């Protein structure tokens, strides 16, 4: 049989170079609601087991090692500064917390505990008996243990604190806490007198020191006033302000006048240059006309013009020799008069320029003196301001020290009244130690919830860890989190389809109202749109792993495209395990392998099916498909080119990418590629690596289809499937 001789189509999309990304994405999409719905039976069972274990632990510990707690409660009151204001002192929360912390540290301090261990009632307790050596209590060993057993704690949002002890004998803990309370109160009373005396001495020394400081500050103030030579600082500063304003105004006026004069001088100097044109003012021109020489020549010319006029009145003509001589004389005098006028005008101009220069120099000296005077006045003002600030600081210090002195004096007056009265003690025993009637540990209300939290929490943590470490593609959310990866759509697991199609490969034909068929209708739109926008006709459906369902997706996608009137050709390029001939009930050969081996033509192998507009090219006979390398040859390119001319859509099925390189060879021949991933089978790293490799191929990578998505892995998929099925069933009815 002759091989195909048609030229290879060259109008397909060009090769794109995309950098591969072999590292798996680190993002893990976790839906808490989905996880809760998936694992709630396990969580409930773990909670029940935890409750049982907690109850059992309670009864075991209650028999083996019961614990009892006795405590005494103390109240801290504000420090009293007046004998008439008992219990009405004001104290900040921070100071109260510090005071309470100090008292709690004193109660558990070594001196207090050593005195407690010498108490006769304590030595008789069973707790103390365990530390007896040779008939005597070993305090070196018992004291650290007692310090560990005693606990002090402040009651939140109050001025109370508690000292407590926990041990297995209720009488012993009550006896020891009562002894601690008694020793602490005795220690407080014994220290009260010495503390008051020491405080009185401190206050007396403080008053003397403050008086001395106030006296020194007043002397310093008097010396500053003498050095400043002023009695009223505010009046002196106001006077200097007036002088500064006046001198500043004079300085501004002088500088403005100087600038005006210098501008006039510069203009006149420029006009007086050799090539400059002097523009004389009307004032200078009038002064030049009044020059004696110029005025004499004007008078002489006027007289001669009068004589000429008289002679012409007597009958002399203009051509008379005498008149002509006089006219000539008038012109000569006029020229001489013009020269004299210009000399006088220039002399006046130079004189005016010298006057302006002299005036500007005079203003410069005046400005210099004004600036000097202004600087002196400003310096004087600054000194007065600094002096006022220093005096203000001294006055503030005197006022502060005076207030401090008054407070110390008042405290000294009151301390005598409060030092010997026990009502002013700041720590009072509010609730003495009582023998505990119930165990403090274990307690059933604590052990049962604790068991539930521990077991259920551990189970939840293990579930969460499993979900995070699971790198499989569980659903569309895992792929949506991956960069540069487009999700085209999902196909639910066939077990979730209520219509239960007999053959998955032709589910679109056999169960058109089923969920599977509807998913392929949805999937058809983005794929067809992407192919049409790129001018593509040939599409490779490539699986990542065996069993991903690429043949099923390719077949149903072809049926979906044929359903809208397109002429579709299915090519089975899986030379290893062909499947499309079984789906459509055709023989294996002749097929694609025969064409590639030169044993047939495209027209011979393209066979129609029972489905309108759907044709199939099977994989071919066993002998001719033994060399899958032929898929990368030019013959395969010519097959795809001829198929593109005869059909609206060409869909190619191939061997999985992980087990063979046939898919990548075909990806360099087709126009577009779609990857099929099976939920809960492929891992995200594999998908990401295949996407990077396909990005370097000739065919445009359109995206990924997630196949066999189960409701348990898709979160809300079960509800969507149910709603879709009921809608179609109601529509059919």
* Number of CB atoms found within 10 A of residue 128's CB: 22
Q: What residue ranges do the domains of the chain occupy?
A: 32-65+441-469, 234-418, 476-503+536-732
In this predicted structure, the answer to whether residue 59 has a pLDDT above a threshold of 60 is yes
DSSP state of 629: G
What mean pLDDT, rounded, does the chain reach? 81
Q: How confident is the model at residue 203 (pLDDT cuts 50, 70, 90)?
A: confident
Please choose, from the candidates 486, 502, 482, 484, the residue with its C-alpha nearest in 3D space to the C-alpha of residue 494. Answer: 502
Contact (Cβ atoms closer than 8 angstroms) between residue 538 and residue 640: yes
pLDDT for 109: 92
In terms of average pLDDT, the best of 2-6, 200-204, 238-242, 575-579 is 575-579
Q: What is the arithmetic mean of pLDDT over 327-342?
A: 88
Per-residue pLDDT reduced to its tens digit, 595-622: 888 888 888 889 988 899 999 999 888 8
* Per-residue pLDDT, 649: 94
Residue 416 vs residue 365, higher pLDDT? 365
In the predicted structure, residue 448 carries a pLDDT above the cut 80: yes
Q: Of the ranges 50-59, 131-140, 403-412, 562-571, which one carries the lowest mean pLDDT score?
A: 403-412
In angstroms, the CA 640 to CA 538 distance is 7
Identify the band that residue 13 occupies on the pLDDT scale cut at 50, 70 and 90. very low
pLDDT at res. 127: 93
- Give the separation between CA 239 and CA 321, rounded to whole angstroms: 87
At 632, the pLDDT band (50, 70, 90 cuts) reads: confident
DSSP 490-544: EEE-GGG-TT--S-GGGHHHH-TTSHHHHHHHHHHHHHHHHHHHHT--EEEEEES
441: which DSSP letter?
B
Q: Is the pLDDT of residue 243 over 90?
A: no
The segment with the largest mean pLDDT, out of 272-281, 456-465, 480-489, 720-729, is: 456-465
Q: Considering only residues 335 and 192, tell me which one the structure prediction assigns the higher pLDDT.
A: 335
pLDDT at 330 over 80: yes
Q: Return the DSSP state at 724.
A: H
pLDDT over 60 at 705, yes or no: yes
Weakest-pLDDT range from 150-154, 590-594, 625-629: 625-629
At 229, the pLDDT band (50, 70, 90 cuts) reads: low
Tell me, what's the pLDDT at 261? Answer: 83
Does the domain made of 476-503+536-732 have the CATH classification 1.10.357.10?
Answer: no
pLDDT digit string, tens, across residues 93-143: 788 888 889 999 999 999 999 999 999 999 999 999 999 998 899 989 999
Q: Give 392's pLDDT tier (boundaries 50, 70, 90).
A: confident
- pLDDT score at 425: 67
* Confidence check: pLDDT of 234 > 70: yes
In this prediction, residue 359 carries a pLDDT of 87
Per the model's pLDDT, the better-predicted residue between 562 and 466 turns out to be 562
Residue whose C-alpha is closest to residue 347's, from 263, 266, 290, 298: 290
Q: What confidence category does residue 17 fall into, taking pLDDT thresholds of 50, 70 and 90?
A: very low
> What does the pLDDT average to over 329-337?
89
Listed in sequence order, the residues at least 6 apart from 682 whose beta carbon sits closer than 8 Å to its beta carbon are 472, 473, 544, 545, 548
418 vs 390, which has greater pLDDT?
A: 390
Rounded percentage of the chain residues whose pLDDT exceeds 70: 84
């Amino acid at each position: 049989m002759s091989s195909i001789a048609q030229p290879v189509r060259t109008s397909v999309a060009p090769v794109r170079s995309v950098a591969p990304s072999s590292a798996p994405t680190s993002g893990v999409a976790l839906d808490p609601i989905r996880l809760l719905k998936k694992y709630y039976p396990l969580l409930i069972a773990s909670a029940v087991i935890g409750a049982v274990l907690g109850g059992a632990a309670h009864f075991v510990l209650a028999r083996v090692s019961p614990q009892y707690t006795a405590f005494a409660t103390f109240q801290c009151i504000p420090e009293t500064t007046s004998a008439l204001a008992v219990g009405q002192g004001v104290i900040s929360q921070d100071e109260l917390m510090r005071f309470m912390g100090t008292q709690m540290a004193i109660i558990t301090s070594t001196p207090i505990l050593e005195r407690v261990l010498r108490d006769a009632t304590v030595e008789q307790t069973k707790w103390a008996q365990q530390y007896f050596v040779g008939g005597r209590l070993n305090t070196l060993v018992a004291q650290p243990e007692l310090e560990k057993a005693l606990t002090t704690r402040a009651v939140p949002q109050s001025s109370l604190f508690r000292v407590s002890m926990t041990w297995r004998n209720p009488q012993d803990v009550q006896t020891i806490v009562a002894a601690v309370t008694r020793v602490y109160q005795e220690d407080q009373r014994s220290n009260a007198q010495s503390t008051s005396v020491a405080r009185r001495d401190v206050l007396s020394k403080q008053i003397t020191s403050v008086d001395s400081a106030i006296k020194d500050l007043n002397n310093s103030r008097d010396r500053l006033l003498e050095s400043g030579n002023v009695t009223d600082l505010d009046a002196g500063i106001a006077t200097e302000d007036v002088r500064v304003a006046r001198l500043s105004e004079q300085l501004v006026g002088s500088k403005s006048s100087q600038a005006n004069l210098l501008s006039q001088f510069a203009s006149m100097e420029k006009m007086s240059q050799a090539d400059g044109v002097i523009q004389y003012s009307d004032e200078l021109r009038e002064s030049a006309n009044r020059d004696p020489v110029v005025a004499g020549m004007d008078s002489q010319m006027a007289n001669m013009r009068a004589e000429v006029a008289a002679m012409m009145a007597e009958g002399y003509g203009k051509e008379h020799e005498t008149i002509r001589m006089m006219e000539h004389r008038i012109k000569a005098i006029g020229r001489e008069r013009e020269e004299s006028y210009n000399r006088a005008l220039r002399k006046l101009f130079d004189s005016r320029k010298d006057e302006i220069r002299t005036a500007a120099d005079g203003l410069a000296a005046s400005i210099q003196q004004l600036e000097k005077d202004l600087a002196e006045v400003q310096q004087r003002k600054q000194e007065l301001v600094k002096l006022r600030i220093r005096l203000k600081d001294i006055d503030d210090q005197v006022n502060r020290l005076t207030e401090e002195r008054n407070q110390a004096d008042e405290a000294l007056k009151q301390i005598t009244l409060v030092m010997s009265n026990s009502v002013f003690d700041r720590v009072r025993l509010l609730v003495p130690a009582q023998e505990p009637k119930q165990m403090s540990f274990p307690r059933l209300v604590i052990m049962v919830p604790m068991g539930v939290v521990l077991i259920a929490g551990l189970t939840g943590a293990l579930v969460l860890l499993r979900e995070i470490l699971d790198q499989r593609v569980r659903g569309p959310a895992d792929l949506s989190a991956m960069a540069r990866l487009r999700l085209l759509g999902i196909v639910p697991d066939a077990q979730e389809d209520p219509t239960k199609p007999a053959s998955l490969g032709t589910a679109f034909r056999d169960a058109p109202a089923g969920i599977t068929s509807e998913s392929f209708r949805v999937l058809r739109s983005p794929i067809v749109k992407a192919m049409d926008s790129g001018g593509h006709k040939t599409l490779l459906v490539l699986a990542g792993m065996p069993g991903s369902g690429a043949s099923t997706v390719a077949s149903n996608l072809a049926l979906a495209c044929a359903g809208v009137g397109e002429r579709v050709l299915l090519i089975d390029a899986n030379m290893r395990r062909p499947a499309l001939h079984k789906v459509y009930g055709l023989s294996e050969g002749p097929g694609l392998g025969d064409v590639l081996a030169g044993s047939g033509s495209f027209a011979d192998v393209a066979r129609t099916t029972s489905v309108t507009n759907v044709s199939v090219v099977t994989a071919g006979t066993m002998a001719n498909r033994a060399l899958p390398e032929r898929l990368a040859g030019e013959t395969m390119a010519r097959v795809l080119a001829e198929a593109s001319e005869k059909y609206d859509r060409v869909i190619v099925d191939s061997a999985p990418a992980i087990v063979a390189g046939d898919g990548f060879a075909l990806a360099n021949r087709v126009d577009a590629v779609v990857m099929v991933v099976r939920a809960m089978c492929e891992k995200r790293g594999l998908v990401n690596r295949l996407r990077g490799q396909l990005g370097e191929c000739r065919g445009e990578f359109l995206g990924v289809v997630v196949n066999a998505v189960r409701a348990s892995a898709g979160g809300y998929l079960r509800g969507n499937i149910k709603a879709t099925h009921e809608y179609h069933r109601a529509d059919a009815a």
